[in-house]
Chain A
Amino acid sequence: MPESFRLIGKRLPRIDSEAKARGRAVFAADLRFPRMLHAKVLRSPYAHARIKRIDTSAARRLPGVKAVITGADTAGVKWGVFRYTRDQQLLPTDKVRYLGEEVAAVAAETPEIAQEAISLIKVDYEPLPAVLDIWSAMAPDAPLLHEDHPGNVNVHVAIEVGDLEQGFRDSYLVREDTFTAPEDSYFMTEPYAAVARPGMDGSLEVWMPNAAPHQKAKALANALQMPLHKVIVRKCYIGGAFGGRSDVFPAEFMVCLLALRTDRPVRLVYTREENSLATRKGHGMYVTIKTGVDRQGHVLARDITCYLDGGAYSSTGPIATSVPFLCHEQCYRLPAVRFNGYRIYTNKPIGGMYRVHGRAFASGIDLQLDLLAQELGLDPLEMRLRNARRPGETTPTGSYVQSCGLRECIRAAADKAGWKDKYGKLPPWRGIGLGTNSVQTGFPLGIRGGSAATIKFNEDGGATLISGVVDNGQGNDNMLVQIAAEVLGLEPGDIQLVSADTEATSNDPGAYSMQSTFTGGQAVKLAAEDARRQLFEVAAEELEAHLDDLVAAERKIFVAGAPDHGLPIHKVIRLALLKGKAVVGRGSFAPKVDHRREWMKNPQGQLSETFSFGATIAEVEVDPQTGRVRVLNLVLSQDCGRVLNPLVVEGQWEGGATMGGTGGMITEEHLWSADGRCLNPTFLDYRVPLAVDVPPMQCVFVDTVDPTGPFGAKEAGMSVAMSAAQAIAAAVADAIGWPVFEYPLTPDRVLKAIREKQEHERKASA
């Protein structure tokens, strides 16, 4: 493989930017079809209640109303991401379990009529006592959300490797600390919307923002009891997912049901509030970490107990509960480690996977290392380096790490940030901190873990690439085309992309599992190479050259080093056609993972074929009177194998660091009233950072060129989103000289820590 590429590694504008810049990119809520109906949803005003009766008669009679559905119109089957987490009826028949849960839906000629119809539906509720936090939920006499889950424990992930007792005995220093954070949330700018259109061939087309069209289609097909080939999730532009658009929602199910009932297209558009309450949110977390280190700062043993506030249903519970631990066990060497993760049901909106995957956990791990380092008289940088994962090692739960540039990232970030000149040398109230983490490039998904792509050509040398990969805005469409164009010697503009359409494309695991490039991109690369081989075969014969001497570049196939001894691609295509051979490239790829590995039942074995690693360094300034934190600078570094497009990767890092760090660690949290109402479901009071709140950011690429990844690429971005959170927690602790264990680092929490420190110093000097 040539080390210098035409397109790979270049700063190329994305192929979808123009449509978006023109305002012509069609998102789900932009879709309009003839005779389309508008849907609205009736939601529970109670956090926990039995549904005794639903009277939809007045709603049905309202002129303009074409269909009204409730749980009674469904088979009442419970759905779950896993067979063993089937706990949610997509429209409830007996109970509502969180304030805002769907109870009924209406399709009408106009949104106003639908809204009025909703107000005419009468529901008899019998309110039940609700549990709104993990402790109440786990209390002995707590009301149960799901009868078969005593103690409201939804998921328990138990992992234990090595001899912990010995490890702690051998430790020179042991610390136990508890870190907490309330719910955080995606707040992608596009509110959720879904459109369903019944076809004349018994099919149903569905559009909705999603991070895995094939997974959505499968779940919908099950719920609607239709064959998979008739439930078609179509491609639309998607306004961000960040983990919050992966598993199936009642919304799309309801829209499908309404469309089938009325035999007309139906569109449902969520308000911002509905997007916050009725899709997913990040988990609130309470995590206790006990770590023992030797005199040199090597971690010998670690015991973690983590409680996650899961909300009313399990969603991707086993995954969300495991990932925070798994990221950290990939990142650090851990001779002995124990993890008990409990996801607890509460009568609140449903917890899903969120990009940062547990800011309390991630920040706690690193902050505690800093505290241990302090006691040992070690620089935190050194502490991380000594414990950092190295390539060729195996994680505690049995994943071999085939490429790892973690230490290089740490050093490179430290260089760029001027760590040596700053740590311990900054003026009062300024601090610097380091965060490191690692992210899976995919995880075992059984039969759905692979991706397949096809490339077909036209007689003028242009091509169509067909792939199941979905683009949530992170640039996947561009990545696929860039890869194919590189291999085939074409320009991106020569390739049409058909993607994320379950009618036309083969299965792809989905963007939510961080493997679009590694798996989806790899499949495309293989398809392109397959096509190229077919082109070479035809060209070789014509040119009387050896297959192995041919290259594809500049829209030609030619003998390497002799560009004139070649043929334009369109000529080769035509030659093939004359032989009755259409050149169609096919490629499929599934990562080498241990298919026996299961989140709860068997958390051992190769989790993901490779891992990315990241390090972030944050500099902050704290106002000692108000507690406000200002991030002064962020240095972002990641080993994502190879940076396929620096322009795109930088954008991912900058966005991730802002969401996870500047926002997620300083101002973002959900607040709740005493009866389970979210106090800040909108952009006004859930404070995502604005352009004036964001610091300068520098990106440092560390390429390790993964042996498997396409052109050596792995996951890009999430290691930065997570480590930015950790870096800021560390930096604030450095700035005020006192650790803060509760996140986000809102002014009140920081001020409280400052006062604690002052109190501590007063007592010490007394």
Chain B
Amino acid sequence: MPEQERMVFRAEINGDEVEILVRPNQTLLEVLRDELDLTGTKEGCGEGVCGACTVLVDGRPRRACLTLALEADGSRVLTVEGLAPGRELSPEQRAFIEHGAIQCGFCTPGMLIAAHDLLRRGTHPDEAAVRRQIAGHVCRCTGYAKIVEAIAAAARDQEADHA
């Protein structure tokens, strides 16, 4: 097997500075899960369809299974583990729990990142906009119904807070 040159990967992951050596062909997903023990981000398909591997890189959603780790060098990365500090829960996490939006939990990290992205944009989404936001995230357990309810509720709460 050809030896690959390892390169420095420096990034801020959930607020922590990380510096490790990675191979060019390592995806961000592999680095998060295998090198940094952040197994919250999941591999559901490996080809960018199911959305379970979604993280934020510099504030924008990316499929970590299709992102070379080096593509995120020097970036800020947010995974599900970083949505809230310590034992706290972010608004979308609380909404998912309260509304029964989590069943097996495998799609949940990607869904939460998508929800977080939507809420951060503060755009007063209606139900159709919420569905569009998570349209690239497969769930086989919930039929999406309570996930949509949870995100819509969190958006409403957010509006109320800012009102």
Contact = CB atoms under 8 A, between A and B. Distances in A.
Interface of A: 11, 13-14, 16-27, 29-30, 32, 112-113, 116, 186-191, 237-240, 242, 269, 271-272, 472-475, 647-648, 650-652, 654-659, 662, 682-684, 688, 690-692, 694, 697
B96 A189 contact: no
Main secondary structure of the interface of B (DSSP, over half): loop
Contacts of B80: 21-23
A271 B49 CA distance: 13
Contacts of B142: 651, 654-655, 658
B112 A691 contact: no
Contacts of B45: 191, 272, 682-683
B20 interface: no
30 contacts: A14-B100, A17-B96, A18-B89, A21-B80, A21-B108, A22-B40, A22-B81, A23-B79, A23-B81, A23-B109, A24-B40, A25-B105, A186-B140, A189-B104, A240-B104, A240-B140, A272-B46, A473-B104, A473-B105, A647-B146, A654-B142, A654-B143, A654-B144, A655-B139, A662-B143, A682-B49, A690-B136, A691-B130, A691-B135, A692-B131
A113 B1 CA distance: 8
Contact of B50 (A13, A23, A189, A271): A189
B98 to A, nearest CB: 6
A14 B105 CA distance: 11
B44 A272 contact: yes
Task: Kindly name the residue among B112, B145, B147 whose own CB sees the greatest number of chain A CB atoms within 10 A.
Answer: B145
Contacts of A30: 33, 39
A21 B112 contact: yes
B143 A694 contact: yes
B40 A692 contact: no
B55 to A, nearest CB: 11
Contact of A239 (B37, B100, B104, B148): B104
A474 B140 CA distance: 11
B141 A691 contact: no
Contacts of A473: 103-106, 141
B140 A684 contact: no
Contacts of B143: 654-659, 662, 694, 697
B1 to A, nearest CB: 6
B31 to A, nearest CB: 14
B24 to A, nearest CB: 13
A546 to B, nearest CB: 41
Contact of A683 (B96, B100, B138): B138
Interface in B39-84: 39-47, 49-50, 52, 79-81, 83
Contacts of A237: 104-105
Contacts of A20: 102, 104-105, 108
A581 to B, nearest CB: 37
Category for how many chain B residues contact A: 35 or more
Interface of B: 1, 33, 37-47, 49-50, 52, 79-81, 83, 89, 93, 96-100, 102-109, 112, 130-132, 134-148
Contact of A691 (B37, B105, B131): B131
B35 to A, nearest CB: 11
A240 B106 CA distance: 8
A691 B81 contact: no
A487 B39 CA distance: 37
B100 A651 contact: yes
Task: Kindly name the residue among A13, A17, A694 whose own CB sees the greatest number of chain B CB atoms within 10 A.
Answer: A17
A26 B102 contact: no
Task: Kindly name the residue among B134, B135, B143, B146 whose own CB sees the greatest number of chain A CB atoms within 10 A.
Answer: B143
A23 B154 CA distance: 19
A655 B47 contact: no
Contacts of A682: 45, 47, 49
Nearest to B142: A655
A191 B52 CA distance: 11
Nearest to A724: B143
B107 A189 contact: yes
A200 to B, nearest CB: 25
Given A189-B138, A682-B45, A690-B136, A647 B40 contact: no
Given A22-B40, A23-B109, A647-B100, A189 B52 contact: yes
CB-based closest 10 A-B pairs: A23-B40, A473-B104, A20-B105, A658-B143, A23-B80, A239-B106, A654-B143, A30-B39, A647-B100, A691-B144
A692 B104 contact: no
B100 A650 contact: yes
Task: Kindly name the residue among B1, B112, B148 whose own CB sees the greatest number of chain A CB atoms within 10 A.
Answer: B1
B127 to A, nearest CB: 9
A506 to B, nearest CB: 25
Contact of A688 (B89, B105, B140): B140
A22 B42 CA distance: 13
B96 A21 contact: yes
Nearest to A32: B37
A269 to B, nearest CB: 8
B72 to A, nearest CB: 18
B103 A684 contact: no
B77 to A, nearest CB: 13
Contacts of A186: 140
Contact of A14 (B38, B102, B138): B102
A688 B138 contact: yes
Contacts of B97: 13-14, 17-18, 21
Contacts of A190: 42, 44, 104, 106
A21 B93 contact: yes
B113 to A, nearest CB: 10
Task: Kindly name the residue among A13, A116, A189 whose own CB sees the greatest number of chain B CB atoms within 10 A.
Answer: A189
Contact of A27 (B42, B103, B144): B42
A30 B52 CA distance: 14
A683 B49 contact: yes
Contacts of B41: 23
A691 B148 contact: yes
A669 B145 CA distance: 23
Contacts of B79: 23
B140 A655 contact: yes
Contacts of A648: 100
A722 to B, nearest CB: 15
Given A116-B1, A647-B99, 8 more contacts: A21-B108, A29-B42, A188-B140, A189-B50, A189-B106, A659-B140, A690-B137, A691-B144
B33 A16 contact: no
A24 B105 CA distance: 10
Nearest to B45: A272
A684 B49 CA distance: 6
Contacts of B38: 23
Nearest to B100: A647
Contacts of B83: 22
B145 A239 contact: no
A697 B144 CA distance: 10
A662 B142 CA distance: 12
A189 B131 contact: no
Given A13-B97, A22-B80, A474 B44 contact: no
